[in-house]
């Protein structure tokens, strides 16, 4: 059996207490919410904390002043089924509904999805497998097995909801031992496969705030091998505003093509002021795909994944604009 390591399990009553525990214990402890990312990783000994600190229940999807505020422990299934979210921000609701599989979405949380670990074929393996092939930089080793001459880790950011939140200009509420702050989702990530989060390790994500202005059109399109369960091989999130046939604003962000969710502002800027036609959509998708740099460390070939980025961006733009597309 693949068992969890011996652990202490703490259940603080509030986010402030959870943050205080983690700040006291340092790298020996980690937060756990649904555990659907962390428990497999712990079973494979990708982390070795001796204490888990449970994120206390932070429930509810609320609409406040043109925003949605989603508690960090709202499950992906709850977010995907929320009628208000589905109507106003289908892109985010769809992204939540496309994560993993139905039983995992009943446990996995929105906060956990934003903080989900980066992934790599050489890393998401059991301890014995990693030991036999030689450990890598991200855990226990000192070279990158995908890019051996590289000083850094290129593990892939695999959150589906992060790019969907980014294109909305969303932010997270973080609670630390000394209080609360708000951080744009765009600033939550770093371009590094190991230190992939820019928040302090002891800061708890307590909520995510999603702006939902009238008339915003959103979509998320995901590429994966099995539509039923797999992590994204690429994902495209789009948020669009139209004035008649003319695009007045567009943001596009990609999942799983870098160590962080990748916003591609050039593509959005290109569409602004233009009509959506086959030509403009395809040109924008071309621009969006340019900075995507999939490596040979996820499922299927990275050449094909790179090619498919253009295709899913096109689909996402069309889906967002429907029924207004020409």
Partner 1 sequence: MRSELDRPVQRELTRLRVNGEDLELYLPVHKTLLEVLREDLKLTGTKHGCELGECGTCTVLVDGEPQLSCLLLPLQAEGRELTTVEGLAEGAAPHPLQVAFAELGAAQCGYCTPGILLAAKALLVRDPRPSRDGIKEALAGNLCRCTGYVKIIEAVELAAERMS
Ligand X SMILES: Cc1cc2nc3c(=O)[nH]c(=O)nc-3n(C[C@H](O)[C@H](O)[C@H](O)COP(=O)(O)OP(=O)(O)OC[C@H]3O[C@@H](n4cnc5c(N)ncnc54)[C@H](O)[C@@H]3O)c2cc1C
**At closest approach, how far in Å is the CB of 232 from partner 1?**
16
| Binding partner at 279 among partner 1, ligand X, ligand SF4, none, C-beta below 5 to 8 Å by kind | none
Residue with tokens 């995507």: 292
* Biggest alpha carbon–alpha carbon distance for the chain: 60
Q: Dihedral through CA 208, CA 253, CA 75, CA 123, nearest 10?
A: -110
**At closest approach, how far in Å is the CB of 33 from ligand X?**
3
CA 201-158-247 angle, 5° bins: 110
| Binding partner at 153 among partner 1, ligand SF4, ligand X, none, C-beta below 5 to 8 Å by kind | ligand SF4
Question: With contact defined as beta carbons under 8 Å apart, do 289 and 313 qualify?
Answer: yes
Q: Where are the beta strands (DSSP E) in 161-216?
A: 171-176, 179-184, 204-211
**Residue 68-107 contact track with ligand X, rule CB under 6 A, x = bound:** ----x---x----------------------xx---x--x
Residue with Cβ nearer partner 1 (77 or 264): 77
Q: Single out the residue of 108, 163, 261, 294 in contact with ligand X (rule: CB under 6 A).
A: 108
Residue with tokens 């059109």: 217
**At closest approach, how far in Å is the CB of 238 from ligand SF4?**
28
Residue with Cβ nearer partner 1 (97 or 294): 97
How far, in Å, CA of 304 to CA of 312, rounded? Answer: 12
- Does 56 bind ligand X (CB under 6 A)? Our answer is no
Q: Single out the residue of 25, 107, 194, 198 in contact with partner 1 (rule: CB under 8 A).
A: 107
Counting every residue written for the chain, the total comes to 326
- Does 4 bind ligand X (CB under 6 A)? Our answer is no
- Does 4 bind partner 1 (CB under 8 A)? Our answer is yes
Backbone angles phi, psi at 85, to 5 degrees: -65, -45
152: closest CA among 196, 192, 197? Answer: 192
Q: What is the 3-state secondary structure (H, E, C) of 299-323?
A: CCCHHHHHHHHHHHHHHHHHHHHCC
Pick out residues in 26-65 that bind partner 1 (CB under 8 A).
34-36, 39-40, 43-45, 48, 50, 54
- Does 138 bind ligand SF4 (CB under 6 A)? Our answer is yes
Q: Which two tokens stand for residue 268?
A: 């959005």
- Does 256 bind ligand SF4 (CB under 6 A)? Our answer is no
Pick out residues in 147-186 that bind ligand SF4 (CB under 6 A).
153-155
Pairing between β-strand 67-71 and β-strand 61-64 as defined by DSSP bridges: antiparallel
Pick out residues in 145-184 that bind ligand X (CB under 6 A).
158-160
Question: With contact defined as beta carbons under 8 Å apart, do 270 and 264 qualify?
Answer: no
Which one of 60-68, 129-137, 224-232, 293-301 is the stretch in contact with ligand X (CB under 6 A)?
224-232
Q: Is 276 exposed, middle or buried (0-12, 13-18, 19+ CB in 10 A)?
A: buried
**At closest approach, how far in Å is the CB of 44 from partner 1?**
8
Pairing between β-strand 29-32 and β-strand 51-54 as defined by DSSP bridges: parallel
Q: Single out the residue of 29, 79, 144, 205 in contact with ligand X (rule: CB under 6 A).
A: 205
Residue with Cβ nearer ligand SF4 (68 or 231): 231
Q: Single out the residue of 6, 83, 142, 215 in contact with partner 1 (rule: CB under 8 A).
A: 6
Backbone angles phi, psi at 303, to 5 degrees: -65, -45
- Does 144 bind ligand SF4 (CB under 6 A)? Our answer is yes
Q: Which two tokens stand for residue 188?
A: 């939550």
Q: Single out the residue of 20, 33, 153, 295 in contact with ligand X (rule: CB under 6 A).
A: 33
What are the residues binding partner 1 (CB under 8 A)?
1-9, 11, 34-36, 39-40, 43-45, 48, 50, 54, 77, 100-104, 106-107, 127, 227-229
């Amino acid at each position: 059996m693949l068992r969890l390591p011996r652990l202490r399990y703490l259940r603080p009553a509030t986010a402030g207490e959870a943050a205080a525990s983690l700040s006291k214990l340092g790298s020996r402890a980690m937060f756990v919410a649904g555990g659907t990312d962390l428990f497999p990783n712990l079973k494979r000994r990708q982390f070795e904390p001796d204490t888990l600190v449970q994120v206390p229940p932070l429930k509810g999807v609320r609409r406040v002043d043109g925003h949605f505020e989603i508690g960090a422990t709202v499950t992906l299934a709850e977010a995907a089924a929320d009628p208000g979210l589905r109507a106003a921000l289908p892109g985010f609701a769809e992204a939540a509904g496309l994560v993993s599989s139905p039983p995992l979405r009943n446990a996995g949380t929105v906060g956990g999805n934003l903080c989900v670990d980066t992934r790599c074929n050489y890393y998401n393996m059991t301890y014995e497998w990693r030991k036999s092939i030689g450990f890598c930089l991200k855990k226990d080793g000192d070279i990158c097995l995908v890019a051996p001459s590289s000083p850094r880790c290129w593990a892939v950011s695999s959150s589906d909801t992060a790019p969907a939140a980014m294109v909305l200009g969303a932010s997270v509420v973080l609670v630390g031992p000394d209080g609360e702050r708000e951080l744009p989702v765009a600033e939550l990530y770093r371009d590094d496969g190991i230190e992939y989060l820019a928040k302090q390790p002891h800061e708890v994500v307590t909520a995510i705030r999603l702006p939902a202005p009238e008339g915003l059109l959103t979509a998320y399109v995901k590429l994966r091998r099995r539509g039923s369960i797999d992590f994204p091989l690429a994902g495209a999130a789009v948020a669009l505003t139209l004035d008649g046939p003319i695009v007045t604003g567009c943001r596009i962000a990609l999942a799983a093509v870098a160590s962080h969710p990748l916003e591609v502002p050039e593509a959005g800027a290109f569409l602004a002021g233009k009509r959506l036609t086959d030509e403009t959509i395809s040109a924008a998708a071309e621009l969006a795909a340019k900075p995507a740099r999939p490596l040979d460390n996820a499922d299927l070939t990275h050449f094909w994944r790179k090619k498919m980025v253009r295709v899913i961006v096109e689909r996402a733009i069309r889906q967002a604009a429907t029924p207004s597309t020409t």
